[in-house]
Amino acid sequence: MISPQNYKHKETYVHALFTNIAHRYDFLNTVLSMNRDKHWRRFAVGKCGLKTGGCGIDVCCGTGMLALEQARVVGPGGRVVGVDFCEEMLAKGRRNLAKTPYRNVVELVSGNAMDLPFPADVFDCATIGFALRNVPSIRRAIEEMMRVVRPGGQVVSLELAKPGFPVFKQVYYLYFDYLVPVMGRLGVGLPGPYKYLPDSLKSFPHQDEITDLFTDVGLKNARCHELTGGIVAVHVGTKR
């Protein structure tokens, strides 16, 4: 279990990191994923079970891109809430949403994934995108997502994963360990943030362990979908 000292340290570090890169976050996501990030988000939301007029939450919503995908599904009669603890990311998200027809569907609010500011059994689904690596307690984040979802609703995580195919795996890690930090430094003008990206993946549990964790916290039918050769995983579980 993470210590209280490390718990707070990670929150502080991650908050500072995303404050510094908020202005370039969307651009670099697209570049570094070779424009696959849009497909990954659509796939993840496709596993949410959302319907027209539904209500979803996106945890650690950042610049609002995954919340926007939910909004496209629920439509003008639905509601989507995005929660993040970094005001700079939320501000960028609000600017992103203002350019879309869904600006009145999505509400971005300040909050912490470790203690979501909502009662239990409120939302039809809960998503988290590329952020489970960044929370102080993975288990706590999943439990909080499960808590705020109605029984029968889906908890969905979209996250970087660890590919297993020989050769492809070696090529991917060369790109991830060496090129991504260089491209990230050129993109934001800072050496640290995109060095953290490969480091955070190395310490993150394998996708099979995340599937087991979904089951362990009480979600049923936990399953994992590996995308793009296994470099990304979408985990899905149903609240009992």
CATH number of the structural domain spanning residue 175 = 3.40.50.150
Q: Binning pLDDT at 50, 70 and 90, where does residue 6 land?
A: low
Checking DSSP bridges between strand 149-160 and strand 232-238, what pairing results, if any? antiparallel
Quote the pLDDT of residue 202: 86
Q: What's the pLDDT tens digit per position in 10-33?
A: 899 899 889 888 888 898 888 888
Residue 215 to residue 117: CA distance in whole angstroms: 24
Is pLDDT above 60 for 5?
A: no
Q: What's the pLDDT tens digit per position in 57-73?
A: 999 999 999 999 999 99
Q: What's the pLDDT tens digit per position in 132-154?
A: 999 999 999 999 999 999 999 99
Mean pLDDT over the full length of the chain: 91
Q: Binning pLDDT at 50, 70 and 90, where does residue 99 land?
A: very high
- Sequence-ordered strand ranges (E) for the chain: 55-59, 79-84, 106-110, 123-129, 149-160, 220-227, 232-238
The total domain count for the chain is: 1
In whole angstroms, how far apart are CA 32 and each of 29, 35, 37, 120?
Answer: 5, 8, 9, 37
Q: What's the pLDDT tens digit per position in 162-176?
A: 999 988 989 988 887
What value does the mean pLDDT take over residues 191-209?
83
Quote the pLDDT of residue 196: 81
Quote the pLDDT of residue 1: 36
Domain that holds residue 106: 4-238
Is pLDDT above 60 for 7?
A: no
